Structure 1
Amino acid sequence: QGGTPSLGGGKKDDQRAPGTRVPLQESILRVLARTPFSAPSPRMRTGPAPPGSPPPPAASETTSTSILVSWSPPSVLHGLPVREYVVHMKPFGAEHPFKELYRGPERVFVAVDLQPKTIYVFRVAAANTLGEGAWSRHAAFRTAAAGTATGGADPTRWVQAVDGAGRQYYYHPSSQQTSWTLPQGAQVDFEGTFRRKRQMLLEELHTTAALALTEDGAGAALDPGRPTASLQPDSPFTRIEVRRGELLDSSFRAFAMLRSRDLLKPLRIHYAGEEGIDSGGLVKDWFVELSRSLVDGNLGLFAPTEDKDTYAVDPRSRHLHSERHLRDYFRFVGRFLGKAVLDRHVVDVRLERTLLLQLLGARLNLADIAGLDTHRCRGLQWMLDNPIEGVLSETFSVGMEVLGEVVQVELKPGGAGLDVTDANKAEYVQLMVEYTARGAVDLQLEALMRGFHDLVPLSVLTQTHVTPDELLVLFLGQDKLDVSEVEAVAKYAGGYSETSPQVQWFWDVLRSMSAQQQRHTLRFVTGLHKVPLDGFDPPFTIMQSTHEGGAASFPRSHTCFNQLALPPYLSRKDLQEKLAFAVENASSAFLMA
């Protein structure tokens, strides 16, 4: 069948016709024997090519109108990396042509605006710089019936996250799909993103606290030189006694007696002169009531901003209190807020934006001071947008009232002698922003931030990328009360069930209330005016009252256990009237019945 190829290349011994099969061993020899003068075999590929076909796509989440589609890279790359993928889709049936839905580098895509209970066919191809490769095998998926989901989660809702290197990415919690960019057809699940950040924040804080509590030694006092309590037992809780009539001062004194390690343990509160035992309800009440005391205008610690809905540090406080008193009190306020975050309690004071930003160590921008001084914010914005030379005459200084007199404060060293020009006005505006937020309250803010970071370190806040809006939610809890959500997880006891008339009347009455009435009712039952971010623990429970007065008695509550004791009323009207009276006239004191 022909001679052996000459390794010397000098003898022409192969007379076979083109196209004749060559044994494998002989093919290998031909390759090994090629010289620089040998002609290349026409059957050998000498360069890169488009990639091979990927595996068929898969669907991990499906609703009635959307499908989450993902795919793997091709196993054959032909020497070049994949630059992008192309996804086609069509409804099932030969009469429907394929249409391109996606072209990009990611390997996940959300098809949206689909029809319920319809089969859709997908195919995917990979492409490199030389072009597109072959299509994958087709894959067909059916959408769910209207109003249902087959995968357990909405394919369009993705959580925003940050990896260890600080790079932002997105992931779908149910399917565990990830993507560097938000997939086409998807949207950010802001609630899911916040819950993930909060979980990471709390895990880091609790891990740090647990390590600190296992260290040897009793722990340093919060304020060196001050006496510390010697009666804190070695228990899982730190117990303090406060007086309701002087809640702020008694709480301040109690905190001053604690060691640093004591604040890392959950608090338990005892109100002097009251018989209530704290199983969780009293401490919830304490966080809410103390936060309200902080913004009492008579104390001069915080004052409402221009929009009247948020609170900022009151500049008058420097005239009402000594410097030592200011430092101590505002550091206590910072610890109180940090303790609320650490122990997952809510407070009832909405802090203004620049204060939240400074707690997070963030840089302030001009728009951030709009809530503090709208007029100044507009004026500074006008300076940025218009030429000012020959129009305005300003220096890098600002007038501040001190004890009834206006003194000039330099925004930077030598600022009183430095004119503001078009060339340096951006620096001037930024310095004015920082002065507006801190100028007259710098000492108070430094103390407050120090106290907050005692329990919630700035490094942890930075690591978890908490935003000002998210920090506010950590403080306040959920703003809205969805009665249906509370009802969906409620429990029943003492002979009541979800079908009991009294239970159905209660939910109906609660839905008919104004938002303020709903908050008051919620606090009557749970001690909180808002739903906690983790839901109620213990669960919100309605139990049949065993009070001897029967249907003539009023509802009672056990806030430590989130329980409402509801008498067996005979009509919706009776329930509504008795519940309204109980909520309106309930004492804030915790006494034994």
Structure 2
Amino acid sequence: MHARTSFSSHTESTVETELMLTPSAAASARQLLRGSTRKTAKITKRTDTSETLMAQDSVGFVRNTDDLGLVSWVPADTIRMSEALIIDTEEFPRASSVIDFESVAALPFRHKVRWFLQELDKVAVPWEEGHLLLKIRRDAVLEESMHLLMLIPAADIRQRLRIEFIDEPGLDAGGLLREWVLLLCERLFDGSYGLFQSSHVENFGYWINTNSAQLKPDHLKCFEFIGRLIAKCLLEGQLLTVHFSLPLLKHILGVPISFSDLEFLDEDLCKNANWLRDHSDVDTLSLDFTVQSFDANGKALPPIELVPGGGGIAVTDANKDEYLVALLKYHMFDSVHEQVAALLKGIFDVLPRNLLAAFDYQELELLICGVPKIDVDDWKRHTDVKFADFDHPSKAEHKVIDWFWAIVAEFSQDQRARLLQFVTGTSRVPVEGFKGLLSNDGRVRRFGIQMVGRGIPPTGLYPKAHTCFNRIDVPLYTSKEEVATYLTLVINMEITGFTMQ
């Protein structure tokens, strides 16, 4: 790794740490990114936990992390949330030492977000005290980013980050950082990479691939990096371009996971478990306390015992609740607990562990991914329009603006998301709506439309995007159809990079 501390030209007090890989370190990084016996036993039926779980789906189990960072799976009613949450001010010297959890949790979401952003500002290192410049090659964006950001102390991740793609022009005023996040998400959540898989539901989110160790020997390092990336995006006001499954969001928050949450991983599994719960004579199914497992290539592996000696324990009406509790524990925790622990370590090495506690899992998704539905009225309301002559806009310019919004209103949500990504570098809206669009250093920068003259067709009629400033240059079109034609062309080009301005 090549790392140097340099001083900004405009002030001697601003420290910038530059991170990049030398050829030898790059080779080393690539190299870094290249493992029962069944017993018979007797099981007794626990009537308290299992019967409560089966009778009331809202009661279940929770991921618990102790002071040493060890993760365990415990009944939810054994964990009690304190009215006041303590934050380690030795590790996070600027953060609030005590959070009035009940008061914050009771706030409306928009007020909760405002509180959260204020707390993040206390956690982040001020720009003048130090910031990071990550210099990477586009064709090795994941490998080099992971290698560099896993080498530095977690506390340094709290510094503001700028991105530079080696051998490419462009100063990062926010757009490159957004693209960097987009490129990392595309790689990390690609099924072929082996870390995540889509859950088997219509509106899927990503769940941990139980075979990640087979596909990626250094998978735990990868999950810890993803945790750091999530924390960094929260600090920088950046949005992930992927959605997590509901159980994974619950693991991050440490809130109860119940029997009904199986639906968000596999609908068929949930239906079969529900049938088993609601019917008698289950001993005719010849089930035992094991689950069938498969390797990454779909080859069947020896059954996994849900309890010690599970292969010798038949599932009956008397112990089926115990079986379902063990089944839930396996799918939600045992099969992925190492990956979950690594992900949580990455997040909470950077952010205070209790800072997210005031949010529920739905609110957490909005914080991480933004508001998925694009409201055109909200977009229009928080857009600044600049005309060629600011004081004397022409009727022709007003017509083009009206046509622009009419076309956007006619677009599908996917097309709106593509247009938003073309102009801002991200396809998602911040949790506060369009009024919360950010620029380079986490400061709000509204969406902008700049009217420009017509150029030489056809390229002179393409809209131009300035992603660092959330602005689109719109030529003086002569018809609504012309606006629709060129807007549709640019959003379907799938341009990645800064070939456009």
Using structure 2 for the length normalisation, give the TM-score: 0.69
Task: Quote the residue 2:323 is aligned against.
Answer: 428
Give the CA RMSD over aligned residues.
3.1
User: Is 2:416 the counterpart of 1:518?
Assistant: yes
* Amino acid in structure 2 at the alignment position of 1:524: F
TM-aligned CA deviation for residue 421 of structure 1: 4.4
Task: Quote the residue 1:543 is aligned against.
Answer: 450
Q: 1:514 to 1:408 in 2, by over 3 A?
A: closer
5+ residue gaps in structure 2?
1-80, 86-101, 438-443
Task: Quote the residue 1:359 is aligned against.
Answer: 252
* Amino acid in structure 1 at the alignment position of 2:356: L
TM-aligned CA deviation for residue 460 of structure 1: 2.3
Aligned mate of 1:558, from 462, 466, 484: 466
Q: For 1:429, what is the secondary structure of its paired residue?
A: helix
Aligned mate of 2:182, from 283, 288, 308: 288
Task: Quote the residue 1:251 is aligned against.
Answer: 145
Tell me, in whole angstroms, the C-alpha distance in 2 between the residues paired with 1:315 and 1:582: 39
* Amino acid in structure 2 at the alignment position of 1:541: G
TM-aligned CA deviation for residue 419 of structure 1: 4.6
5+ residue gaps in structure 1?
1-161, 167-179, 181-189, 215-232
Tell me, in whole angstroms, the C-alpha distance in 2 between the residues paired with 1:498 and 1:355: 53
Task: Quote the residue 2:402 is aligned against.
Answer: 504
Task: Quote the residue 2:368 is aligned against.
Answer: 475
Aligned mate of 1:369, from 262, 277, 288: 262
* Amino acid in structure 1 at the alignment position of 2:326: L
Larger Rg belongs to: 1
**Quick one: percent identity of the two aligned structures?**
29
User: Is 2:224 the counterpart of 1:331?
Assistant: yes
Residues 364, 434 of structure 1: 8 Å contact kept: no
User: Is 2:264 the counterpart of 1:264?
Assistant: no
Residues 274, 591 of structure 1: 8 Å contact kept: no
Task: Quote the residue 1:411 is aligned against.
Answer: 306
Q: 1:390 to 1:441 in 2, by over 3 A?
A: closer
Task: Quote the residue 1:574 is aligned against.
Answer: 482
* Amino acid in structure 2 at the alignment position of 1:268: R
Aligned mate of 1:194, from 109, 114, 117: 109
The C-alpha deviation readout for 1:300-333, integer Å capped at 9, x for no partner, is 11122212632212223222222xx111111101
Using structure 1 for the length normalisation, give the TM-score: 0.59
Residues 201, 267 of structure 2: 8 Å contact kept: no
TM-aligned CA deviation for residue 393 of structure 1: 4.4
TM-aligned CA deviation for residue 199 of structure 1: 2.9
* Amino acid in structure 2 at the alignment position of 1:377: C
Task: Quote the residue 2:336 is aligned against.
Answer: 441
* Amino acid in structure 2 at the alignment position of 1:274: E
What is the correspondence of 1:57-456 to structure 2 with a 5 Å cutoff?
Answer: 164=83, 193-207=108-122, 209-210=123-124, 213=125, 235-307=129-201, 309-322=204-217, 325-388=218-281, 390-401=283-294, 404-456=299-351
Aligned mate of 1:531, from 429, 436, 441: 429
The C-alpha deviation readout for 1:510-554, integer Å capped at 9, x for no partner, is 112222221111111111212222322311111123686499432
The C-alpha deviation readout for 1:450-500, integer Å capped at 9, x for no partner, is 2122234432223x1x22211111121011111111111211224366972
Tell me, in whole angstroms, the C-alpha distance in 1 between the residues paired with 2:337 and 2:179: 31
Aligned mate of 1:484, from 364, 377, 389: 377
Q: For 1:460, what is the secondary structure of its paired residue?
A: coil
Tell me, in whole angstroms, the C-alpha distance in 1 between the residues paired with 2:167 and 2:446: 29
Q: 1:235 to 1:272 in 2, by over 3 A?
A: farther
Tell which has more relative contact order, 1 or 2 (C-alpha 8 A, sep 6+): 2
Tell me, in whole angstroms, the C-alpha distance in 1 between the residues paired with 2:131 and 2:172: 11
Q: 1:205 to 1:489 in 2, by over 3 A?
A: closer
